[in-house]
A = this chain, B = another copy of it.
Amino acid sequence: MKSNKILSVREQIADVLRSDIISGELEPNTKLNEQQLAERFGTSRGPIRDVLIKLTKEGLLVSKDNVGSSVSSPLTPELQKLSIDIRRKIEEHAVKQLENNISEADLARMDGIIDRMQEHFDKEEFTDLTKTDIEFHKYFVGLAGGEDLTNLWYPVVLRMRMNYQRIRNSQTLVDEHRHIVDALRKNDLKLAISSIRKNIK
Contact = CB atoms under 8 A, between A and B. Distances in A.
Given A57-B54, A57-B57, A145-B79, A152 B155 contact: yes
Nearest to A9: B65
Contacts of A194: none
A147 interface: yes
A163 B90 CA distance: 22
Interface residues on chain A, size class? 20 to 34
Per assembly, the copies of the chain total 2
Contacts of A103: none
A37 interface: no
Interface of A: 8, 46, 49-50, 53-54, 57-59, 62, 65, 72, 75-76, 78-79, 82-83, 85-86, 89-90, 93, 97, 145, 147-149, 151-152, 155-156, 159
Q: Identify the 9 closest CB pairs spanning chains A and B, nearest first.
A: A57-B57, A53-B53, A82-B93, A8-B65, A59-B151, A79-B148, A86-B86, A50-B53, A75-B148
